[in-house]
Amino acid sequence: MYIVVSYDIPEDKRRTKIHSILKSYGQWMQLSVFECDITSTQYAKLRSRLSKLIKPDTDSVRFYFLCGCCQRKVERIGGEQPRDETIFFAESPST
Amino acid sequence: MGTVYVTQIDAFIGKIDERLTVKAEQKTILDIPLIKIEGIVVLGRATISPAVVNELLDRHICLTFLTQSGRYLGRLEPEVTKNIFVRKAQWQAVGESQPAIHLVRGFVRGKLKNYRHSLLRTQREHPDIDLNNNITRLENAIAPIEKTNNIDSLRGLEGAGSAAYFGCFQQLIKTSEFQFEARRRRPPTDPVNALLSFGYSLLRHDVQSALNIVGFDPYLGYLHVERYGRPSLALDLMEEFRPLIVDAVVLSLINKRSLTLTDFTTEPLSGAVSLTKEGLHTFLRAYEQKKQSNFKHPVMGNKCTYQEAFEIQARLLSKYLMNEIEKYPPLILK
């Protein structure tokens, strides 16, 4: 499933932690917005990890589910593009 | 799901949270969620942190080591599956048994028929080239397969068929830049052979992973005899895929001029030819795209990718050995 995650966390340290967890499940698109293409098991794990970490009275995390047909209708102007996930090269650009 | 290729020399492969990170010269050059990774291929030297080793074994992600020129060195592999019955059936068929002969026939037939189709296609598309002689030789090798009842003779037919195919491989190459005389390995001393060898190394990594998933012992084969450290069954199952994937990728890269002679370097002493960094990227990307491309599986009847076909063929192999199906159908594409 395809999920857009957005969050509001006032405390820097906790925000960094949330950011790091989300990076393990999806791609960072904008300041506090991630897009994750994951299975329901992976979603459950992500959700439980996040809910353990946040302080519900000050923090908030939102998950927006995109269906297959809506996912194709996403328009992007500038900024991050979704990465190609069929092949990854580990190589420094300089050499 | 994708494959990670670590082509940077002396890279450090580590992990942060649930992500794989690759560092070189104190800079992070790759940071990818582990859930997006299904295999890692290291070309050349790399340091791998113990935490990553644990994580890869735990998540059943295979790690393969190749030399910088693409020669296979070895792999880190999760525990073989607990499906003892598949391995028992595999062992029971060892030697000159009826199932072993049937399987070898299948592997050889699959490979040679795919060779034949690729020659026929070239012939059709380029009527100016004359491949009739080689096609006849190939057909002469295919015809007796069904009647042959011993593995050594089948090996002979495979050899004759391959010789006929590689005998006219040069004519499948449409640029004058590249020349192919004969198949040369260890080390490959011309660009075409270098590409073929490198491609077969990558293919082996994929086929062996599929065999492991299904529960086979990849070191016990039927067409290839046992030798210390040689994954014979992976080499057996690879046969039918060689022309479909590697040869197709190599020919298309050369004929479309995506690769040119400037993409290769030659080692002065051994004469070994290998790809430059840019050439390597072009090749790996083409190979990966081929693996993810769709086709209709002739036996299963549904659409699948070559990546999935590795596992489908391995499952058919196990079903045949466990007496669930009558025949093993090799993957033959027209």
pLDDT at B48: 92
Tell me, yes or no, if A87 comes closer than 8 A to chain B by beta carbon.
yes
Rounded to 5°, angle at Cα B43 from B173 and A83: 85
The Cα–Cα gap between B154 and B142 comes to: 10
Contact list, A35 vs chain B (CB under 8 Å): none
Q: What is the ipTM of this complex?
A: 0.84
Rounded average pLDDT over B305-318 = 85
Q: Name the residue facing B5 among A24, A84, A90 (closest C-beta).
A: A90
pLDDT at B130: 74
Q: Name the residue facing B2 among A87, A92, A93 (closest C-beta).
A: A87
A17, burial (CB in 10 Å: exposed 0-12, middle 13-18, buried 19+): middle
CB contact under 8 A, A21 and B17: yes
* Lowest model confidence (mean pLDDT) among B13-17, B119-123, B227-231: B227-231
Tell me, yes or no, if A89 comes closer than 8 A to chain B by beta carbon.
yes
pLDDT at B304: 84
* Lowest model confidence (mean pLDDT) among A4-13, A38-47, B266-275, B318-327: B266-275
Tell me, yes or no, if B7 comes closer than 8 A to chain A by beta carbon.
yes
pLDDT at A45: 93
pLDDT at B229: 60
Rounded average pLDDT over B152-171 = 81
The Cα–Cα gap between B125 and B254 comes to: 17
Rounded average pLDDT over B55-83 = 79
B103-149 pLDDT, tens digit per residue, is 888 888 888 888 888 888 888 887 777 777 777 877 887 778 777 78
The Cα–Cα gap between B205 and B13 comes to: 20
Rounded average pLDDT over B40-54 = 90
Tell me, yes or no, if B307 comes closer than 8 A to chain A by beta carbon.
no
More confident residue, A17 or B324: A17
List the structure tokens of B86.
């598949």
Please provide the average confidence, as pLDDT, over all residues in chain B: 82
Rounded to 5°, angle at Cα B318 from B317 and B322: 120
pLDDT at B39: 85
Contact list, A92 vs chain B (CB under 8 Å): 8, 24-25, 27, 29
A21-68 pLDDT, tens digit per residue, is 999 999 999 999 999 999 999 999 999 999 999 998 999 999 999 988
Strands A27-30 and A33-37: antiparallel
Q: pTM for the full model?
A: 0.75
Produce one character per residue of B190-217: b if its CB has 16 or more CB atoms within 10 Å, e if not. bbbbbbbbbbbbbbbbbbbbbbbbbbbb
pLDDT at B80: 64
Cβ atoms of A7 and A59 within 8 Å: the answer is: yes
* Dihedral pair phi/psi, residue B66, rounded to 5°: -120, 155
Q: Name the residue facing A87 among B18, B25, B284 (closest C-beta).
A: B284
CB contact under 8 A, B32 and A89: no
Q: Name the residue facing A90 among B29, B33, B289 (closest C-beta).
A: B29
Cβ atoms of B80 and B215 within 8 Å: the answer is: yes
